[in-house]
Amino acid sequence: MNLRRIVTLVVLAVVLIGLGVLVASTVNLMPEEASVQAQMVDRLFRLLMGIATVIFVAVEGALVYAVVRFRRRAGDDTDGPAVHGSTTLEAVWTAIPALIVIVIAFVSFRVLAASAVREAEPVVVEVVGRQFTWEFRYPEADVTSTELHLPVDRQVRFEITSDDVIHSLWIPEFRIKQDATPGRVAEMVITPTRLGRFPIRCAELCGAAHAAMTAEVVVESGEEFAAWLEGQRGAGLPVSPGDLGRRLFSQYGCNACHTLADAVAAGVVGPSLDGIGAAAGSFVPGLDARAYLEQSILDPEAFVVEGFPSGVMPPNFGDRLTGEELQALVDYLLSQ
Protein backbone atom coordinates (compact mmCIF):
# COMPACT_ATOMS: atom_id res chain seq x y z
CA MET A 1 0.00 0.00 0.00
CA ASN A 2 1.71 3.16 -1.17
CA LEU A 3 1.46 6.59 0.38
CA ARG A 4 -1.01 7.87 -2.19
CA ARG A 5 -3.37 5.02 -1.42
CA ILE A 6 -3.13 5.60 2.30
CA VAL A 7 -3.79 9.31 1.92
CA THR A 8 -6.83 8.60 -0.30
CA LEU A 9 -8.22 6.18 2.21
CA VAL A 10 -7.70 8.60 5.10
CA VAL A 11 -9.34 11.44 3.23
CA LEU A 12 -12.27 9.21 2.30
CA ALA A 13 -12.61 8.07 5.90
CA VAL A 14 -12.61 11.63 7.17
CA VAL A 15 -15.20 12.69 4.63
CA LEU A 16 -17.39 9.71 5.43
CA ILE A 17 -17.22 10.22 9.15
CA GLY A 18 -17.91 13.90 8.67
CA LEU A 19 -20.96 13.00 6.63
CA GLY A 20 -22.06 10.62 9.34
CA VAL A 21 -21.72 13.28 12.00
CA LEU A 22 -23.60 15.74 9.83
CA VAL A 23 -26.47 13.34 9.31
CA ALA A 24 -26.52 12.37 12.98
CA SER A 25 -26.75 15.96 14.12
CA THR A 26 -29.21 17.38 11.61
CA VAL A 27 -31.52 14.73 10.25
CA ASN A 28 -34.68 14.32 12.27
CA LEU A 29 -36.96 11.50 11.21
CA MET A 30 -38.84 11.07 14.45
CA PRO A 31 -42.03 12.67 15.74
CA GLU A 32 -41.89 15.30 18.45
CA GLU A 33 -39.86 14.36 21.52
CA ALA A 34 -42.44 14.39 24.28
CA SER A 35 -40.82 12.33 27.01
CA VAL A 36 -37.55 11.77 28.80
CA GLN A 37 -37.37 8.37 27.12
CA ALA A 38 -37.88 9.98 23.71
CA GLN A 39 -34.88 12.19 24.23
CA MET A 40 -32.69 9.20 25.11
CA VAL A 41 -33.98 7.02 22.29
CA ASP A 42 -33.59 9.80 19.74
CA ARG A 43 -29.98 10.36 20.72
CA LEU A 44 -29.31 6.65 20.23
CA PHE A 45 -31.23 6.72 16.97
CA ARG A 46 -29.18 9.60 15.67
CA LEU A 47 -26.00 7.74 16.54
CA LEU A 48 -27.27 4.74 14.59
CA MET A 49 -28.22 7.00 11.68
CA GLY A 50 -24.73 8.44 11.62
CA ILE A 51 -23.14 4.98 11.61
CA ALA A 52 -25.64 3.72 9.05
CA THR A 53 -24.89 6.67 6.77
CA VAL A 54 -21.18 5.97 6.88
CA ILE A 55 -21.64 2.28 6.13
CA PHE A 56 -24.26 2.90 3.47
CA VAL A 57 -22.30 5.55 1.61
CA ALA A 58 -19.06 3.60 1.89
CA VAL A 59 -20.46 0.32 0.59
CA GLU A 60 -22.81 1.73 -2.04
CA GLY A 61 -20.09 4.14 -3.04
CA ALA A 62 -17.60 1.32 -3.45
CA LEU A 63 -20.19 -0.62 -5.42
CA VAL A 64 -20.90 2.24 -7.80
CA TYR A 65 -17.20 3.01 -8.16
CA ALA A 66 -16.38 -0.62 -8.92
CA VAL A 67 -19.18 -0.94 -11.40
CA VAL A 68 -17.96 2.09 -13.31
CA ARG A 69 -14.21 1.68 -12.97
CA PHE A 70 -13.99 -2.05 -13.56
CA ARG A 71 -16.46 -2.54 -16.38
CA ARG A 72 -15.19 -4.74 -19.12
CA ARG A 73 -13.67 -2.76 -21.95
CA ALA A 74 -15.03 -3.66 -25.38
CA GLY A 75 -13.21 -6.59 -26.94
CA ASP A 76 -11.47 -7.60 -23.71
CA ASP A 77 -12.21 -11.25 -23.17
CA THR A 78 -9.47 -11.97 -20.71
CA ASP A 79 -9.97 -12.77 -17.08
CA GLY A 80 -9.24 -10.48 -14.17
CA PRO A 81 -6.39 -11.09 -11.70
CA ALA A 82 -6.46 -14.42 -9.88
CA VAL A 83 -6.88 -12.87 -6.43
CA HIS A 84 -8.55 -15.29 -3.98
CA GLY A 85 -8.59 -13.06 -0.92
CA SER A 86 -6.51 -11.08 1.50
CA THR A 87 -6.15 -12.21 5.05
CA THR A 88 -5.43 -8.73 6.33
CA LEU A 89 -8.34 -7.13 4.59
CA GLU A 90 -10.71 -9.87 5.66
CA ALA A 91 -9.54 -9.62 9.23
CA VAL A 92 -10.09 -5.86 9.17
CA TRP A 93 -13.56 -6.05 7.72
CA THR A 94 -14.53 -8.64 10.24
CA ALA A 95 -13.05 -6.85 13.23
CA ILE A 96 -14.33 -3.36 12.52
CA PRO A 97 -18.01 -4.31 12.12
CA ALA A 98 -17.70 -6.52 15.19
CA LEU A 99 -16.39 -3.53 17.12
CA ILE A 100 -19.14 -1.31 15.79
CA VAL A 101 -21.94 -3.67 16.79
CA ILE A 102 -20.41 -4.22 20.21
CA VAL A 103 -20.36 -0.47 20.76
CA ILE A 104 -23.94 -0.15 19.55
CA ALA A 105 -25.04 -2.99 21.81
CA PHE A 106 -23.31 -1.37 24.77
CA VAL A 107 -24.80 2.06 24.16
CA SER A 108 -28.22 0.49 23.63
CA PHE A 109 -27.91 -1.31 26.91
CA ARG A 110 -27.10 1.94 28.68
CA VAL A 111 -30.06 3.73 27.11
CA LEU A 112 -32.34 0.83 27.99
CA ALA A 113 -31.26 0.92 31.60
CA ALA A 114 -31.53 4.70 31.83
CA SER A 115 -34.96 4.80 30.24
CA ALA A 116 -36.35 2.25 32.66
CA VAL A 117 -35.19 3.89 35.88
CA ARG A 118 -38.03 3.86 38.35
CA GLU A 119 -38.79 6.92 40.39
CA ALA A 120 -40.50 7.03 43.71
CA GLU A 121 -44.21 7.83 43.67
CA PRO A 122 -45.07 7.66 40.00
CA VAL A 123 -48.58 8.23 38.76
CA VAL A 124 -49.95 4.74 38.35
CA VAL A 125 -52.24 4.07 35.40
CA GLU A 126 -53.77 0.65 34.84
CA VAL A 127 -54.41 0.11 31.17
CA VAL A 128 -56.80 -2.44 29.78
CA GLY A 129 -56.86 -3.07 26.06
CA ARG A 130 -60.06 -4.52 24.80
CA GLN A 131 -61.40 -4.88 21.26
CA PHE A 132 -61.32 -2.00 20.22
CA THR A 133 -60.78 0.60 22.93
CA TRP A 134 -58.27 1.53 25.56
CA GLU A 135 -59.42 1.97 29.11
CA PHE A 136 -57.29 3.87 31.59
CA ARG A 137 -57.81 3.47 35.30
CA TYR A 138 -56.27 5.59 38.01
CA PRO A 139 -56.41 3.28 41.03
CA GLU A 140 -55.65 5.93 43.64
CA ALA A 141 -58.40 8.23 42.51
CA ASP A 142 -60.66 5.36 41.46
CA VAL A 143 -61.21 6.99 38.09
CA THR A 144 -61.74 5.20 34.80
CA SER A 145 -61.58 6.95 31.43
CA THR A 146 -61.07 6.28 27.76
CA GLU A 147 -58.91 9.36 27.46
CA LEU A 148 -55.45 9.33 29.00
CA HIS A 149 -54.47 12.40 30.98
CA LEU A 150 -50.99 12.79 32.42
CA PRO A 151 -49.23 15.49 34.40
CA VAL A 152 -46.11 16.84 32.71
CA ASP A 153 -42.66 16.12 34.15
CA ARG A 154 -43.87 13.39 36.44
CA GLN A 155 -43.13 9.71 35.87
CA VAL A 156 -46.10 7.53 35.12
CA ARG A 157 -46.03 3.78 35.55
CA PHE A 158 -48.39 1.95 33.23
CA GLU A 159 -49.62 -1.48 34.22
CA ILE A 160 -50.90 -2.93 31.01
CA THR A 161 -53.08 -5.90 30.31
CA SER A 162 -55.84 -7.02 28.00
CA ASP A 163 -59.28 -8.47 28.44
CA ASP A 164 -59.34 -10.50 25.26
CA VAL A 165 -56.54 -10.70 22.66
CA ILE A 166 -53.05 -9.22 22.50
CA HIS A 167 -52.99 -5.48 21.83
CA SER A 168 -50.03 -3.11 22.07
CA LEU A 169 -50.05 0.32 23.67
CA TRP A 170 -47.96 2.73 21.63
CA ILE A 171 -47.53 6.45 22.01
CA PRO A 172 -45.12 7.40 19.19
CA GLU A 173 -44.17 10.74 20.74
CA PHE A 174 -43.09 8.88 23.89
CA ARG A 175 -41.12 6.23 21.93
CA ILE A 176 -42.05 3.09 23.85
CA LYS A 177 -44.64 0.47 23.17
CA GLN A 178 -45.73 -2.40 25.34
CA ASP A 179 -47.91 -5.34 24.43
CA ALA A 180 -51.16 -5.75 26.34
CA THR A 181 -51.38 -9.49 26.83
CA PRO A 182 -54.34 -11.22 28.47
CA GLY A 183 -53.35 -13.07 31.60
CA ARG A 184 -50.38 -10.92 32.40
CA VAL A 185 -49.64 -7.36 33.49
CA ALA A 186 -46.70 -5.64 31.83
CA GLU A 187 -45.17 -2.47 33.14
CA MET A 188 -43.87 0.57 31.28
CA VAL A 189 -42.51 3.82 32.74
CA ILE A 190 -42.64 7.14 30.92
CA THR A 191 -41.95 10.70 31.99
CA PRO A 192 -43.79 13.11 29.67
CA THR A 193 -41.94 16.37 29.12
CA ARG A 194 -44.14 18.30 26.72
CA LEU A 195 -47.65 19.66 27.03
CA GLY A 196 -50.09 18.72 24.34
CA ARG A 197 -52.27 16.05 22.84
CA PHE A 198 -50.62 13.01 21.26
CA PRO A 199 -52.10 9.99 19.51
CA ILE A 200 -52.18 6.54 21.08
CA ARG A 201 -52.18 3.68 18.61
CA CYS A 202 -52.64 -0.05 18.91
CA ALA A 203 -49.60 -1.77 17.49
CA GLU A 204 -50.56 -5.44 17.59
CA LEU A 205 -53.10 -6.88 15.17
CA CYS A 206 -56.18 -7.45 17.28
CA GLY A 207 -59.04 -7.97 14.87
CA ALA A 208 -61.14 -6.22 12.26
CA ALA A 209 -60.96 -2.74 13.81
CA HIS A 210 -57.29 -2.83 14.78
CA ALA A 211 -56.65 0.37 12.79
CA ALA A 212 -59.47 2.15 14.60
CA MET A 213 -58.22 1.30 18.07
CA THR A 214 -56.89 4.72 18.83
CA ALA A 215 -57.00 7.05 21.79
CA GLU A 216 -55.40 10.28 22.85
CA VAL A 217 -53.04 11.25 25.63
CA VAL A 218 -53.40 14.73 27.07
CA VAL A 219 -50.27 15.96 28.83
CA GLU A 220 -51.13 18.91 31.07
CA SER A 221 -49.87 20.77 34.08
CA GLY A 222 -50.08 19.22 37.52
CA GLU A 223 -52.99 21.42 38.53
CA GLU A 224 -54.98 20.75 35.38
CA PHE A 225 -54.36 17.05 35.83
CA ALA A 226 -55.61 17.11 39.40
CA ALA A 227 -58.65 19.11 38.34
CA TRP A 228 -59.41 16.63 35.56
CA LEU A 229 -59.17 13.70 37.96
CA GLU A 230 -61.47 15.48 40.34
CA GLY A 231 -63.93 16.12 37.55
CA GLN A 232 -63.88 12.46 36.50
CA ARG A 233 -64.40 11.26 40.03
CA GLY A 234 -67.28 13.60 40.57
CA ALA A 235 -68.76 12.40 37.31
CA GLY A 236 -70.46 9.65 39.26
CA LEU A 237 -73.18 12.29 39.70
CA PRO A 238 -73.73 13.63 36.20
CA VAL A 239 -75.41 16.99 35.83
CA SER A 240 -77.90 15.60 33.32
CA PRO A 241 -78.87 12.18 31.96
CA GLY A 242 -77.46 13.25 28.60
CA ASP A 243 -74.09 13.79 30.24
CA LEU A 244 -74.17 10.29 31.73
CA GLY A 245 -75.14 8.78 28.42
CA ARG A 246 -72.43 10.67 26.58
CA ARG A 247 -69.86 9.57 29.12
CA LEU A 248 -70.95 5.95 28.87
CA PHE A 249 -70.80 6.16 25.09
CA SER A 250 -67.07 6.90 25.38
CA GLN A 251 -66.39 4.80 28.43
CA TYR A 252 -67.59 1.62 26.77
CA GLY A 253 -65.81 2.40 23.54
CA CYS A 254 -68.80 2.98 21.28
CA ASN A 255 -66.91 6.01 19.99
CA ALA A 256 -64.24 3.77 18.48
CA CYS A 257 -66.56 2.34 15.86
CA HIS A 258 -69.56 4.67 15.54
CA THR A 259 -69.93 8.27 14.43
CA LEU A 260 -71.95 10.49 16.76
CA ALA A 261 -71.46 14.22 16.50
CA ASP A 262 -72.70 14.99 20.01
CA ALA A 263 -70.15 12.63 21.52
CA VAL A 264 -67.38 13.88 19.21
CA ALA A 265 -67.08 10.36 17.86
CA ALA A 266 -65.99 9.66 14.29
CA GLY A 267 -65.72 5.89 14.09
CA VAL A 268 -66.41 4.26 10.73
CA VAL A 269 -66.32 0.56 11.58
CA GLY A 270 -70.03 0.50 12.35
CA PRO A 271 -72.99 2.58 11.10
CA SER A 272 -73.26 6.25 12.01
CA LEU A 273 -75.58 6.97 14.92
CA ASP A 274 -76.36 10.57 14.05
CA GLY A 275 -80.13 10.88 14.03
CA ILE A 276 -80.58 7.38 15.38
CA GLY A 277 -83.21 8.53 17.87
CA ALA A 278 -85.70 9.38 15.16
CA ALA A 279 -84.82 6.48 12.87
CA ALA A 280 -84.53 3.53 15.25
CA GLY A 281 -88.24 2.85 15.38
CA SER A 282 -88.54 2.30 11.66
CA PHE A 283 -85.94 -0.44 11.12
CA VAL A 284 -87.75 -3.54 12.31
CA PRO A 285 -91.54 -3.82 12.12
CA GLY A 286 -92.93 -4.43 15.57
CA LEU A 287 -89.89 -3.07 17.38
CA ASP A 288 -90.06 0.46 18.71
CA ALA A 289 -86.95 2.60 18.88
CA ARG A 290 -86.08 1.71 22.49
CA ALA A 291 -86.49 -2.02 21.94
CA TYR A 292 -84.41 -1.89 18.76
CA LEU A 293 -81.59 0.02 20.43
CA GLU A 294 -81.55 -2.26 23.45
CA GLN A 295 -81.38 -5.38 21.35
CA SER A 296 -78.75 -3.90 19.10
CA ILE A 297 -76.51 -3.25 22.09
CA LEU A 298 -77.06 -6.55 23.89
CA ASP A 299 -77.12 -8.77 20.79
CA PRO A 300 -75.14 -7.09 18.02
CA GLU A 301 -75.66 -9.94 15.57
CA ALA A 302 -79.44 -9.50 15.66
CA PHE A 303 -79.65 -6.66 13.14
CA VAL A 304 -76.41 -6.14 11.25
CA VAL A 305 -76.75 -3.14 8.96
CA GLU A 306 -75.99 -3.94 5.33
CA GLY A 307 -72.51 -3.00 4.28
CA PHE A 308 -71.08 -3.38 7.75
CA PRO A 309 -69.16 -6.39 9.07
CA SER A 310 -70.70 -8.85 11.45
CA GLY A 311 -68.83 -10.39 14.34
CA VAL A 312 -66.99 -7.19 15.23
CA MET A 313 -69.15 -5.48 17.87
CA PRO A 314 -68.46 -7.14 21.23
CA PRO A 315 -71.36 -9.45 22.19
CA ASN A 316 -70.88 -9.13 25.93
CA PHE A 317 -72.27 -5.70 26.75
CA GLY A 318 -75.05 -7.48 28.58
CA ASP A 319 -72.50 -8.62 31.14
CA ARG A 320 -70.61 -5.36 31.27
CA LEU A 321 -73.41 -2.77 31.47
CA THR A 322 -75.53 -2.43 34.57
CA GLY A 323 -79.26 -2.05 34.08
CA GLU A 324 -79.09 1.67 34.85
CA GLU A 325 -76.21 2.15 32.45
CA LEU A 326 -78.06 0.42 29.63
CA GLN A 327 -81.09 2.63 30.20
CA ALA A 328 -78.98 5.79 30.35
CA LEU A 329 -77.22 4.82 27.12
CA VAL A 330 -80.46 4.09 25.30
CA ASP A 331 -82.02 7.32 26.62
CA TYR A 332 -79.02 9.21 25.32
CA LEU A 333 -79.18 7.60 21.88
CA LEU A 334 -82.89 8.26 21.66
CA SER A 335 -82.15 11.95 22.11
CA GLN A 336 -79.80 12.00 19.08
- Per CB under 8 A, contacts with another protein among 159-178 are 164-166, 168, 170, 172-173, 175-178
By CB under 8 A, the count of residues binding another protein is: 84
The residue among 215, 200, 117, 195 whose CA lies nearest residue 153 is: 195
Peptide bond into 132 cis (omega under 30): yes
In whole angstroms, how close is the CB of 201 to another protein at the nearest point? 5
SS3 state of residue 137:
strand
Which secondary-structure segment (H or E) carries 201? strand 196-202
Instruction: Collapse the DSSP code of 93 into the 3-class scheme (helix H, G, I; strand E, B; otherwise coil) and give the result.
Output: helix
- CB-side exposure of 39: number of CA atoms within 13 Å? 9
Taking CB under 8 A as the binding criterion, the range among 29-37, 233-241, 246-254, 323-331 that sits at the site for another protein is: 29-37
Give dist(CA 278, CA 297) in Å, integer: 17
The least CB distance from residue 328 to another protein, in Å, is 29
Considering only 202, 256, 313, 326, the residue that binds another protein (CB under 8 A) is 202
Closer of 265 and 293 to another protein (Cβ)? 265
Q: Does 272 bind another protein (CB under 8 A)?
A: no
The whole-angstrom separation of Cα 34 and Cα 175 is 9
**Residue ranges in 226-255 that form contacts with another protein under rule CB under 8 A:** none
Residue 55: CB atoms within 10 A of its CB come to 14
Amino acid type, 192? P
Task: Give 56 or 283: the residue with its C-beta nearer to another protein.
Answer: 56
Task: State which of residues 17, 210, 272, 274 lies at the interface with another protein (CB under 8 A).
Answer: 210
Interacting positions 69-128 with another protein (CB under 8 A): 70-73, 76, 78-86, 89-90, 93-94, 97-98, 101-102, 104-105, 108-109, 111-112, 115-116
